[in-house]
Amino acid sequence: MGIVPLERALQLAADVDLDLVEVAPMARPPVCKLMDFGKFKYESALKAREARRNQQQTVIKEMKLRPKIDPHDYETKKGHVVRFLKAGDKVKVTIMFRGREQSRPELGFRLLRRLSEEISELGFVEASPKQDGRNMIMVLAPHRATKAAAAAVIAANARPPREPREGDVAEAPPAAAPVDSTAATAE
């Protein structure tokens, strides 16, 4: 349309029943567009909602261990880690050191390395073990194939809607009869 004075642009927008929206305020002269702004906001909100629905939620589960863990307890905790990885979740493994255990961080490092080797077919080490004060932290993530399998299992377990049964109500109950306003008497 070209360069138009503000009053003329507002008049054009009013004539076609649209809004004058400034799309590039820093340009010289500023760039404006004639559009239905309410419709634009509604469509952009729909697009944002659709994008949120399609994005993948990453869940981080945490498993806490101690350096002097009993073999049975270790196997139980490893089983939990395996279950989390099979479900497609990331796992943050934390080893907590207390007292004199802090002077032997290699015990925790060995434990984490052993765990990562034992679950290597399900996941990989996303963040290698590092000391963080009294804790040593490592993050495990599932392989892509494991994540895809978990998504397939979730989709397979989703139940389809059940068929209606004989006793089910097929229709909504009838609405109340309208009130005849002419029959009312004023007292």
Low-confidence ranges of the chain (pLDDT < 70): 158-161, 167-187
Rounded-to-integer distance, Cα 115 and Cα 84, Å: 14
CA dihedral 163, 166, 171, 176 (to 10 degrees): -150
For domain 6-54, say whether CATH 3.40.50.1220 is its number: no
The string of pLDDT tens digits covering residues 132-150 is 889 999 999 998 877 777 7
The predicted structure's pLDDT at residue 81: 93
Helices (H), the chain: 6-15, 37-54, 71-86, 105-118, 144-157
Distance of CA 97 to the CA centre of its chain: 33
Residue type present at position 37? F
The predicted structure's pLDDT at residue 184: 47
Domain boundaries, the chain: 6-54, 60-150
- 60-150 has which fold? Translation Initiation Factor IF3 (3.30.110)
Rounded-to-integer distance, Cα 73 and Cα 155, Å: 33
CA dihedral 84, 87, 90, 96 (to 10 degrees): -10
The predicted structure's pLDDT at residue 6: 84
The string of pLDDT tens digits covering residues 145-170 is 777 777 777 777 766 667 777 766 65
The predicted structure's pLDDT at residue 183: 47
The predicted structure's pLDDT at residue 45: 92
The predicted structure's pLDDT at residue 187: 43
